Amino acid sequence: MITLNHGLSGYVCGRVVMPLLKRRSPLSERAMGWAFFLGAMLPDVDILTRLVGRPVYFADAWYAHRHASHSILGTLTLAALVGALLLRLFARSQACARGRSYAWLVGCLWCGGLLHILGDLYTPGRPLPVLWPWPGTYGAWRHIGWFSPYLLWLFLATLAIGWAAGALPWRWASLRRWEGLRRWAPPRALRNASVWLLYCLAAYRWIDFMLTSRYESWSQWEAYHLTLLPEAMIFPVTRGVGLMWRLFTG
C-alpha cells in the first residue's frame, strides 16, 4: 500500500482495539493512536536506502526496499528503536521511559508494523520475506489493496466523521453563545460507541476490500475504481502518488 494508507489503516485498526487497550495501558489514547499510525508506516523507512542510490533501494539485500524492514523481526526491531527514541523525546521522567510505557509503546508500534506487512502481502508480484532472516517469501496475492484511492478516501472520511462526531457541535457548545446546543448533544457514551462502530466498519471494509479485489491490469484497476468513485476523486490521487514515486525512485 502507499505509505499514508498504511498509516491510516494502522490508526483505524488501533481505534478498534482502543477500548480494550486503554483500560490497562499507561499511555493515553492519543499516544497509542499515534503509535499505531506511525508504526504502520515504519517499514517503509527503507526509503532511506534511496539516498545511497536507486540500485541500493531496489537491491536484493536485507537493507533494501521490502526486505528485512517488512518482516516480523524487522518490524519489532524498528518498533523498539523508534519507541526508545520517542520516549527519550517525549517522556516526562526516566522512570516512565524505562517502565511499562516503553513496552506499551513498542507493542503499539509493532502492531502497526504487522498491519503494514498484512497490507503489503496483497501487492502483485512483490512477495515479502515475512520470516526474515529465515528464507522464504509470502504474499504477492494480486489484489488491489497495495494502492487504492478508494481506501485513502475511506480512511480520510472515517477520520473526518469520527473527529466531527467527537468535537462538533458538542465542543463548540461549551462556548457561551452555543450554550443552547448542549441540550441536543447525545450522551458521551453514545457518541463514543457510534465513533467506535464507525472505525470498526472502516477496518472491516479495508480487510474486505483487500480480500475481494483483484488486480489484472492497469486498465482493469482503473475500471474497477470507476465503479467505486467519481473520476475527480481517483486521478488527482494517482497523479500525486505517481509524482511522489518518480521523485523518490526515479
Which positions lie near Zn ion, rule CB under 5 A? 43-44, 120
CA-CA distance, 123 to 117, in Å (whole number)? 10
Min CB(149)–Zn ion separation in Å: 18
Q: How far apart are CA 133 and CA 62, in angstroms?
A: 8
Which residue lies nearer to Zn ion by CB, 107 or 139?
139
The Cβ-side half-sphere exposure at 105, using a 13 Å CA radius, reads 26
Nearer to Zn ion, 14 or 74 (CB): 74
- Least CB distance to Zn ion at residue 57 (A): 12
- Which residues sit opposite 128 in a β-bridge? 138
How far apart are the C-alpha atoms of 208 and 197, rounded to whole Å?
16
Residues 6+ apart with CB under 8 A from 63: 46, 49, 56
Least distance to Zn ion, CB of residue 46, Å: 8
Compare residues 25 and 49 and give the one whose CB is closer to Zn ion. 49
Cβ proximity to Zn ion, 102 vs 110, nearer residue: 110
Helices (H), 121-213: 149-167, 188-212
> Residue 195 Cβ, how far from Zn ion at the closest point, in Å?
28
DSSP-based three-state secondary structure for 138: strand
Shortest Å, Cβ 3 to Zn ion: 7
> Please, which residues bridge with residue 138 across strands?
128
Nearer to Zn ion, 25 or 44 (CB): 44
Given the C-alpha cell 505509505, which residue does it identify? 3
Which cell numbers in the block locate residue 250? 526515479
Taking the complex as a whole, how short is the minimal distance between the CB of residue 43 and Zn ion, in angstroms? 5
Task: For residues 111 and 151, give the distance between their C-alpha atoms in angstroms, rounded to a whole number.
Answer: 20
CB of 117 or CB of 202, closer to Zn ion: 117
| In the complex, minimum distance from the CB of residue 51 to Zn ion, in angstroms, rounded to a whole number | 17
User: Which CB sits closer to Zn ion, 42 or 87?
Assistant: 42
Name the residue number minimizing CB distance to Zn ion. 120
Please give the helix or strand (H or E) that residue 147 lies within, else none: none
